[in-house]
């Protein structure tokens, strides 16, 4: 009798830009940026179905959390044994990870607009087969205009999640 062993898909999230390590409890404590908060919310939502592995700059120890296992960034420079690698905001790190993980799908998840000195990212990402996820349709359109390549890297968008308890209040709108 043979028993099939089914493992959940492994998603590696590499954040080389964060100022310090963070975890789900950082959401309650505050003091983390929107990108880091989004990563923790998404990781926590996906961890029951996926094997979530985070690699963060500024972290000196490995930690188990409700968002998955959180490692120091240096461990991302080893072959990751992941089904997909998502790199936050750092296209040059995505290219380094492509060399280490040549067969693994890699995505660059942009939460920022790149500056003019980053125009080389388009051809480099396209040639490495690295797709880009932006945080909105307008962000994706802006990035396409910035890169003005045909064909360029695949660019898509996924809206950042918002807190389920978010509701309008009496705060004046500041345009």
Q: Tens of pLDDT along 158-168? A: 988 777 777 88
Element (H, E) at 72: strand 68-72
Place of tokens 């910035």: 146
- Asked if residue 2 has pLDDT above 70, the reply is no
Q: Smallest Cα–Cα separation from 40: which of 110, 136, 30?
A: 30
Token pair recorded at residue 82 = 């992941």
Burial of residue 163 (CB within 10 Å: 0-12, 13-18, 19+) is: exposed
- The pLDDT value recorded for residue 171 is 83
* Angstrom distance (rounded) from CA 128 to CA 172: 46
Answer yes or no: are the C-beta atoms of 168 and 142 closer than 8 Å.
no
Q: What is the pLDDT of residue 162?
A: 75
Residue with tokens 């028993």: 3
What pLDDT score does 8 carry? 94
What pLDDT, in 10s, does the model give residues 14-38?
999 998 999 999 988 887 888 999 9
12 neighbors 84 (Cβ within 8 angstroms): yes
Average pLDDT over residues 131-154: 89
What is the tens place of the pLDDT at every residue in 72-88? 999 999 999 999 999 99
């Amino acid at each position: 009798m043979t028993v099939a062993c089914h493992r959940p898909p492994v998603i590696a999230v590499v954040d080389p830009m964060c100022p310090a390590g963070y975890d789900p409890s950082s959401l309650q404590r505050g003091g983390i940026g929107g990108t880091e908060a989004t990563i923790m919310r998404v990781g926590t939502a996906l961890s029951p179905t996926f094997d979530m592995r985070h690699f963060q700059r500024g972290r000196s120890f490995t930690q188990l959390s409700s968002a998955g296992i959180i490692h120091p960034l240096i461990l991302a420079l080893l072959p990751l044994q992941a089904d997909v690698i998502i790199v936050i905001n750092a296209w040059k790190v995505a290219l380094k990870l492509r060399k280490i993980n040549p067969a693994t799908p890699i995505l660059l998840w942009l939460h920022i607009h790149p500056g003019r000195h980053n125009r080389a990212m388009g051809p480099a990402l396209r040639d490495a087969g690295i797709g880009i996820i932006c945080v909105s349709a307008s962000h994706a359109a802006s990035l396409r205009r910035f890169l003005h390549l045909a064909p360029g890297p695949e660019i898509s968008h996924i809206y950042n999640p918002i807190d389920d308890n978010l509701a309008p209040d009496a705060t004046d709108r500041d345009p």
